[in-house]
């Protein structure tokens, strides 16, 4: 069983749900408290042992590549002013040589197409997919939990979590071959099932470990829902020949592609911050009071 060393981060989306904030700033670089959303995603991947991040970018996303690069003038000013703590924070986020690659998705053809664009860099290895607008707060990082599940079962892993009561029809829901604990074999996936027909209350929440055979399926995959090449369509095809397990991870997800989700993430991360938490709680309490 090959280890999971690489992760695909599809960052070409336009962020239309949080316009006008994303008109000139990539949604992945919007701040959650004191750093961009993408910083949390990369930190989660590194903590899980990911060695190589493949960013699938699009037009007007050059700032993402710039973020993970030296800013010589800024670093020189911080050095001259003795702001070594801030300088260390900036340098700690810089990639090691060969840790990051950037490929271009030339047209907005869907998540499946974005993942397919990374095929030459991933090669014949199992790989992770990390949706960059889902900040997942957990004692053990969500991708780390997925890695542990993969080491136990092999095959393909889909991270899931319970959907809000009565809202399963709004999500991609997994079907399970029985439910015992947090890790269960999957039998299918249903996108936005009609009310009362959902096979479970667990929705796909933005972290995957997939086998490389999915690239051949994506290459032949026609357009699905929304006129886009859907990753889940090829996952369903792969499920016919390979094992899939759903992992109900232990943590909380914040959908930062949504205005209220982004607000929730900011408040939650502020309250959890070891240095700013007390001041953040006082500020929120004053606003609510």
> Percentage of the chain with pLDDT > 90?
76
Reported as a single tens digit per residue, the pLDDT across 15-30 is 888 889 888 899 999 9
pLDDT value for 55 = 97
Q: What angle do CA 129, 60, 4 make, to 5 degrees?
A: 15
Residue 218 is predicted with a pLDDT of 94
At 36-47, the pLDDT tens digits run 999 999 999 999
pLDDT value at position 278? 96
CB-CB contact of 160 with 174 (8 Å): yes
- Which pLDDT score, from 0 to 100, does residue 138 have? 94
The rounded radius of gyration (Å) of the Cα atoms in the chain is: 19
Q: Mean of the pLDDT values across residues 162-171?
A: 85
Mean pLDDT, the chain, whole residue set: 92
C-alpha closest to that of 202 among 186, 214, 215:
186
**pTM listed for this prediction:** 0.92
For the stretch 97-130, pLDDT in tens is 999 999 999 888 889 999 999 999 999 999 999 9
Model confidence band, residue 268 (pLDDT cutoffs 50, 70, 90) = very high
Task: State the pLDDT at residue 83.
Answer: 93
Residue 288: count of CB within 10 angstroms of its CB: 6
Q: For residue 261, what pLDDT is reported? A: 93
- Each residue of 187-228: pLDDT tens digit? 999 888 888 888 998 999 999 999 999 999 999 887 776 678
C-alpha–C-alpha distance, residues 71 and 217, integer Å:
41
**Model confidence band, residue 175 (pLDDT cutoffs 50, 70, 90):** very high
Q: Give CATH for domain 6-288.
A: 3.90.550.10
Helices (H) and strands (E) in the chain, counts: 11, 13
H or E element, residue 174: strand 172-176
Domain ranges of the chain: 6-288
The pLDDT tens digits for 68-105 are 999 999 999 999 999 999 999 999 999 999 999 999 99
């Amino acid at each position: 069983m090959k280890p999971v060393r690489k992760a695909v981060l599809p960052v070409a989306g336009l962020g239309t749900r949080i316009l006008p904030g994303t008109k000139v700033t990539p949604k992945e670089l919007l701040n959650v408290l004191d750093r961009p959303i993408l910083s949390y995603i990369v930190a989660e991947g590194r903590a899980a042992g990911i060695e190589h991040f493949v960013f699938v970018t699009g037009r007007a996303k050059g700032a993402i590549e710039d973020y993970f690069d030296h800013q010589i003038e800024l670093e020189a000013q911080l050095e001259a002013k003795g702001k070594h703590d801030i300088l260390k924070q900036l340098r700690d986020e810089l990639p090691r040589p060969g840790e990051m690659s950037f490929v271009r998705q030339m047209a907005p053809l869907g998540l499946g197409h974005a993942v397919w664009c990374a095929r030459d860099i991933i090669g014949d290895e199992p790989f992770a997919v990390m949706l960059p607008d889902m900040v997942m707060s957990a004692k053990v990082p969500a991708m780390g939990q997925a890695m542990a599940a993969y080491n136990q079962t092999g095959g393909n892993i889909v991270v899931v979590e319970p959907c809000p009561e009565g809202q399963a029809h709004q999500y991609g829901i997994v079907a399970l071959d029985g439910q015992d604990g947090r890790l269960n074999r999957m039998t299918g996936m249903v996108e936005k099932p009609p009310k009362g027909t959902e096979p479970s209350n667990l929705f796909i929440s933005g972290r995957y470990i997939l086998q490389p055979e999915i690239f051949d399926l994506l290459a032949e995959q026609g357009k699905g829902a929304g006129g886009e090449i859907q990753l889940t369509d090829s996952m369903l095809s792969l499920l016919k020949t390979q094992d899939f397990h759903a992992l109900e991870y232990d943590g909380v997800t914040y959908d930062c592609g949504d205005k209220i989700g982004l607000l929730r993430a900011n408040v939650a991360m502020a309250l959890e911050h070891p240095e700013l938490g007390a001041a953040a709680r006082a500020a929120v309490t004053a606003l609510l009071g």
